[in-house]
Every structure is written in structure tokens, then in C-alpha cells.
A and B are shown apart, each in its own frame.
Chain A
């Protein structure tokens, strides 16, 4: 098995959350009184539940690296929003640490927190959270207005992000006059105007219909390619996670059950719960060319060349035209063998019946 946490990371740790707990209820201090909690996590959570409290986040730990899209998934009520709200300190965690660039966020004073939010964080909300009385332009410029920036700067920056999200021409419309997709673009633009390092998105596309959702995902990926933020993204749609996640965490009843790349989760689900999440995904989406390669029998030099990272989905038309197979090379140009229709079908079949098979 490969090391999950470093599989696709792209840089240093930006945001890190350590043993984070959030318990709803009153008078909770005694659960965490000494310098930590000694008994094991599950019995502590069970005790809280028995005493009528709601442990919404239980001992959650993960890292988000610079430039990474980290997705949190889980059923409704599993604590996803709670975790993100703790990370942004919209709610105060009951226990644990949130480190932003190595600084403990939970120890910051309200004043410092406002500074952090003004310069380092952006957040997009499921129901948009737009101010109904302000125009698109004013909504987008709102964070700068709060900082008391000059009007000219507000306008220039707002125009730039409005263009980035493709809302030119609607600058003076009110939120009520926009469609859901357009409103969420305003939300995205607003969260980007302060050029945050860390970007939280809590089910940003859930309120949108499937077509618009797909379009917004593409838009989101395009923006991320330009901006390289460190992102925490919540969704309960696995296909959405699959499209955008570098790594993801699956939550259940407040606990993180598994962290890894989407492919890891599909191929090596930690338990039934994770497996059920991933069962809908067509396996062919996961298979990379390299995983189907077999040694060439004869001369492969006349065959078409394919990159090892190419999703197998894309090979089908090529294989139809070249039933002999295609040659596979990795990024260094090394020869990895060939893929034939037969080898592809074999690999697929293996995936279907044996989930422990490791791809890539």
C-alpha cells in the first residue's frame, strides 16, 4: 500500500487541524480538563452522547498543503460544516488545534481573528450569504469596504474578480435579480477579493441544478489553476469530489473514517461506509493506462504512443482503431509495455471483483 498522505501533495503544509473536537451543549469543559484526554476517543464520544451532548466533530486531524484541494465528504449531519466552521472559527472548537502557517488560530484574539479573515481566508456558503440590499459590485467589494479601502481600489479589485468569475455586465444587479449560479459566482468573487491563501467552500454548488453545477465545477478548477489556493471543499456528491479533489476525507458521525486520494478511497475503502459512498462510481473512470499495460509480445514501435497517466476512458476509441494495442510511456519516456483490448478488459474485470488491487 502506498503512503496516502503524500501521494499527490504539491507543497508545504498550509493549514493543519489537530485532534479537533466540537461538542454542542453546555458546560463541556470537564471532558477535556487536564492537558488532554486520556481515555479513547470512541468511549469519550459515547459518554458525551449519553450525557445529552452532540459531539459534531470528534478528534479530527488532517493537513491541507499549499495549492491543494482537500475535499471533505460525508452524509448529512456527519459534521462537515462543523469542521469547516471550526477552521474558520465561525464556531469555537471545544478542543484541539488549528494551525494556519504554523500559528494556532484558536488562540487568536477577536481582533487578530478579524485581521486573519480580512487577509488570509475566504469562504463560500451553500446558500450564498449575499447581502440582499447591495448590488453585485458592492457585495463583491464588501470585504474591502470593511477594511476601509479607498473607493477606487474597491472598484478596481472588484471588477477584476467579477471578470474572473465571468459576471461582467451584471455589476449593478441586485442578488434577487440573479439566477442561483450567478449568485454563487458573486459569492465566489467576494471570497476571492481579499486574495486569501486559504479558501473554504461549504457545499458551494449543492443548491444548483446538475448542468450549472458541472459548469461551476469547471469554472472552479479553471480559477484554481490560475490562483493556486489551499482549499477545503465540502460536498456530499462523490462524483464532484472525484472531479476536483487532490485528497479527501470521509466523515461519519463526527469522525474522519478515511483520508486519501479519491482513487485510494475507491480501491481501498476502510470500511463498508466508505465503500457504499464509492460504489456508484464507474470503475473505468479510475483506471490509468499504466495499470493495464502488459509486456509487448512483438514490435511495439509502430503502435500509437500513449502517456501512462492517461485515463483508460480515453483509450477506447484508439483501441477500436488499433486492435493490436497502443504503446505506453511514462513522463521520462521509459517504455512501460502496451495496452491491448484484452489487457484492458482484464484489468477492468480485476477491479470489479477485487477491490484491493492497486491501480497506478
Chain B
């Protein structure tokens, strides 16, 4: 970083001086706020009088829509209820052996030999634990929501590709659809479409179409101009150029979109089941979890994980598949496979009356895994209780609480063994001051600023920081990073949180995500660095990461809740286990793709492996690693809402409460708040990236 600092400081001494003065002013202001907090209430909580009834407005708007358009939505419900019913009935009617055959055939077409075996074994597991009906209900919803989401996404994607203006309009819509937590729009859908499986369908289509739009635009746009021109010169008209040239050439990327859409759809189908009434696999997990029957919810959770993996591998395999190449095959060769499958299914159906085993999995073959699992879990928890408790408590008391309410309140005789006295603050201040002076002396001004701010936050706590201080720090930081645009954006975002009365909860969310993101980022990046150096470790981690990423995040909660009960710590672990993966992947990818020439050159100069890593590879991989941070934040925010199910007290909980209390405004305002936080964090990351690139260019010039 010192090198980057040096380049950064190239501009002019004046700019540097301005920056220092600016930060100094902000820090002094924040300190004043903290000191005055005791005297002035309005520093601590944003004055009630200035808040706007945003929540009520949303409710009024929603009521109006419901009052005037409900009929329209109900019609949609009616229209979709039938095909959904048909698909569900068909899946139930189909003998299990037939369904297994179809899925295995699809798996074979997508991936060849291995996948059908995995698919079959997974489905046999579903049969064995007796959750077939529930799984089929979920599959039915997925099978209808995926084509719909793909269609909607594709059409919008083509439109966005064709018109820049449409794309510009689509971008914020997609961003909001992807960052507003799913729970937040379950309720409006429920209000509009009425109770029933259609809610799950609509929610899952809404949640799942954005990746399809993005990938469609990307795929269509990235077709090399040579290919398009060669199509034109071959005499293609507009329709031919699109369907015979552009679309097939961008097919792979578009299919990646189908894959992502499928996974999002499944994930939402699972979440949507919590409104109940669908008797599907998500409901199974949730209801058992509420009754603390962890064995049963683990069994059902594994079903979801397996479903996710099957769908992921099949759709991903389709995208990866080589083109057909041999077009000269005859009709039979081309369609024979599917005729054989169809024939076999017909045969199974015909044989079913004679051989009932083909249609209904015998009860005697079912195994109750829940019972023994429960016992094992009980035993484990009892055996390791002291260890688990110690882990949990030390993290809560020594990390989470200080960051949340500040050292001055978190340090108490019960946990730390002593209480925080004023002279502690004095010593603390002296230490911080010494550190700052040392940093400035070494010419690391930015480090000094970071030390002061960090120390202040740690002393006061994120949640207890006076709001004007937080606003000042964040807005000024935004201005330094991304100029007036980012500063304005940050100011607007924070104003929304203040005015809508979500500030306190939002700070709790920020506290939890900051911690979780930092931890995920540290863990993920460290593991990623190790994996980049060590093929063996990389191979070991790949399936683990894949599994954690494909599973609907909901499932991740089960084992953690099991071990640590509900609470902030559980939420933290859940977020980390979901959000470390992108940090891992980007770090490994970035390090592994550092230019070979540079590495060889450094090796020739005589760099030790450690020097090579620290001084060559890491700095070069930094942009990629930061991309990982960006993704980690997104994943963390997504998981934050899910984690609300296990009892947090932040915005995520607010969303969830809004849903269960039927208060649309409450849930939606909180959801918007989360989206705003996520989007702002994303803009900060991007600004950092832009600065970094600019710095590199300046360095090169």
C-alpha cells in the first residue's frame, strides 16, 4: 500500500492538505457530538418531529392499489392456479420411478455419465425419508416459475439489448429487485394475489428474473462484431440475424442466466413456503425448526440441498455443453433417446397396477432418520456444551457487543472482569493519540485517519454513535471516494433511514453486516490465498464452496441454530458461512490469474515464495479481491434477512415482523432500507475500484 500511497499523493500538496483538514474537521465534529450526546437528546435519536410517516404512506398506497386493482390480480391468480394444479397433479400422478427416469435422462443429456447416478441416489434419499410429496410440490412450483421467469427475463433482456434507453431504465429496477429482501415483497404479493401457491409463484418469478435479464443482455451484446457482420454479409434479414446468428452465438451466456434464474427461483420457492398452505419442503423445514425438531428439519434441509444441486448441475451442464456438431444425424438418432424415455415411462405406467412398487415407494423401505439424528445432535450438544458456550460468549462479549454499544458500555465486571472507568477512556485516548502520531510521523496519513475513526467507533459503538457524527463521517468518506455524486447518494440514503425512522434498526443491521462481512472477507480471502498456493486444498474446498453456494441460504440456518440456539451469534455464523464463499473465490481466482510473466520475472530476481505472494501477487490481485469484498457485502445483506428468522433485532427482523403482522409499510420500509444500505455499500466498493484503476494508470504513465 505504501507504493499506492506514494502515487496517490502525487497530485498536489494542496489537495493533500485539504484532505487532512477535511478529515480533521469531521473527526472533531464527531468527537463534539459524542461529548454533547449526554446533554442533547436529539443527538442520540433523530427528532420524532422531523420523521415522516413513510410507513403509513406505503400502506395507503398499497390499500389504494388493492382496492382498485385487486380484481386484475385475482384474475391472474385464477389463470395461474389451473396450470399450477395440473403440473402438481401430474407430478403426483407420475410413478416415482418415472420421475427419477426423466431427471436422470435430463442429467445424462446435460452432463453425461456421472450426474444421473447422483440424481438417482438423491431422489432415492427423498423417497427413503418419506418427503416425496413435499418435494414434488416444491418441484411443481419451480417447474412453472422457471419457464415464466426465463421468458420474462429473456423478453426484457432482448428489449434492453435493443434499446439503450430501456436498459438504463431496467438497471435500477433490477438492482432493487435483487437487493430488496424477498420477505419484503411477499406481503404485497399476498395482499394482491390472495392466499395460496400463486404467491410463491409470483414471488419466485419476481425474484428470479433479474439474472436472466442481465445475462441475456450480456450474451447478446458480447457476440463479436465479426460474427454479426459475417451474418449480414451472408444475406441475413433482421429476424434471421437475430435468431440464427446473434442468439445462438450468445447462447452460452443466456443459459448461464437460466441456471442462475433456476437457483434463485428454487430459493424463493423455499422462502415463500413460510407463508404456509403449500405443504412443500420449505414448510417442512420451517415448521419442524419452530418445534425444535432439529433432526427432522435437517432431514428435510438435506432434501432441499439435493434438489438445489440437481437443478444446478443440470442447468449448468446445459450451458457448458458442446454444440451438436454432427448435424447429419437422422431423425431417429436425434430424437430416439427421448422416444425411448417416453416409452419407458409409458411402460412404467402400464405396469404400475401389476407392480405397485413402481408407483408407490413401500413404507417398509422408508427409514426414519430424524429420530437417530436428533439423538446424535443431543449427544453432541451435551458433550460439547462448554466449548460451544465459550465460543459463543467470547465472540458476543469481546467482539459483537463492543462494536455494537461501545467499549464504555460493553466492558462490565460480569464479562470482562472489570468495569469501564473514566480513566480507562483517558488511557485509551492517549494510546490512540500515540498511534496516530506514530502513523503521521511515518507519513501514513490515511492510516492515522483510519486509526482515529476506528478507535472512536469502537469506544462509542456503531449503534450508539450520535447520528450527526455517523452522517458526517460517511458522507465525507463518500465525497473523498467518489466525489459529489457518491456524497449526495450517501446523504440521500442516510436521510431516508433517518426520516423513515429506521435509523436505529439500520445501525444494528450495519453493525451485524459489518462484523459478518469483515469476518467473511478475512476468512474467505485467507482460505482463498491458501487455495491459490495449494492445489490439494483448492480441490478439497471446491465442492464445499459449491454446495454452500447452491443451497438456498435458508438451509444453512438449520445446523447453526441447532448448535447455538437463536440470537445474533447464530445470525453472524449463518451470514459468514454464506458470504465467505465469494471472497474465497475471487481471491483464489485473482491470485491464480496474475500474469505469468510477472511471476517469472519476480522469481528470476530472486523473490522468496513469501515475498512473491506478498509483494507481487497480492497487490496485482487486489482489484479482484476487492470485487470479492463487494460480492461478500451483497451476499451478507441477502443472508441478513434470512437470519432474521433466527432472532436478530435489526431491519431484517423488521421485514419479517412486517410480514407476519400483515403490515406492508413496516416490512417494505425496512426492506427498502436494507436495499439502500446494500446499494450504497456497492457504490463505495466501485468507487474504490475506479480510484484504484486510475491510480494504476497514473502509475503506469
Contact = CB atoms under 8 A, between A and B. Distances in A.
Contacts of B229: 85, 90, 123, 125, 129
Interface string B320-336: 00111111100000000
B227 A117 contact: no
A90 B368 CA distance: 68
Nearest to B248: A133
A191 B227 contact: no
B638 to A, nearest CB: 34
A131 B245 contact: yes
B235 A147 contact: yes
Given A132-B249, A146-B236, A190 B327 contact: no
B111 interface: no
Interface string A314-353: 0000000000000000000000000000000000000000
A333 to B, nearest CB: 47
Interface residues of B, number: 25
Contacts of B231: 129, 131, 142
A172 B327 CA distance: 8
A123 B231 CA distance: 10
A148 to B, nearest CB: 10
A137 interface: yes
Nearest to B226: A129
A130 B234 CA distance: 11
Nearest to A88: B233
Contacts of A174: 322-323, 325
Contacts of A90: 229, 232-233
A133 B233 contact: no
A16 interface: no
Given A172-B325, A172-B328, A130 B227 contact: yes
Interface string B219-232: 00000101101111
A123 B230 contact: yes
B249 A131 contact: yes
A131 B226 contact: no
Contacts of A88: 233
A135 B325 CA distance: 5
B231 to A, nearest CB: 8
Nearest to B224: A127
B52 interface: no
B235 A129 contact: no
Interface in A73-130: 85, 88, 90, 114-115, 117-119, 121-123, 125-130
A359 interface: no
A173 interface: yes
B263 to A, nearest CB: 25
A200 B233 CA distance: 10
Interface string B605-623: 0000000000000000000
Contacts of B251: 133
A131 B235 contact: no
B244 interface: yes
A263 to B, nearest CB: 32
Interface string A158-188: 0000000000000011100000000000010
Contacts of B233: 88, 90, 117, 121-123, 191, 200
A146 B232 contact: no
Interface in B14-57: none
A146 B234 contact: yes
B237 interface: yes
A90 B232 CA distance: 8
A306 interface: no
A134 interface: yes
A282 to B, nearest CB: 35
B112 to A, nearest CB: 17
Contacts of B325: 135, 172-174
A138 interface: yes
B240 interface: yes
A194 B235 contact: yes
Given A125-B226, A135-B325, A146 B249 contact: no
Contact of B230 (A118, A125, A135, A194): A125
Among B234, B235, B245, the one with the most A-chain Cβ atoms within 10 Å of its Cβ is: B234
A122 B232 CA distance: 10
A147 B224 CA distance: 23
Most chain-A CB neighbours within 10 Å: which of B230, B236, B244, B327?
A: B230
Contacts of B237: 114, 146
Contacts of A133: 248-249, 251, 323-324
A125 B234 CA distance: 12
Interface string B503-535: 000000000000000000000000000000000
A142 B234 CA distance: 7
A115 B324 CA distance: 30
A138 B234 contact: no
A129 B230 contact: yes
Contacts of A269: none
A200 to B, nearest CB: 8
A39 B691 CA distance: 47
A269 B541 CA distance: 66
A118 B235 contact: yes
Interface of A: 85, 88, 90, 114-115, 117-119, 121-123, 125-135, 137-138, 142-143, 145-147, 172-174, 187, 190-191, 194, 200
10 contacts: A85-B229, A117-B232, A118-B234, A121-B233, A125-B229, A128-B226, A128-B230, A129-B227, A133-B248, A134-B327
5 A-B pairs with the lowest CB-CB distances in the bound complex, closest first? A129-B230, A118-B235, A129-B226, A143-B234, A123-B233
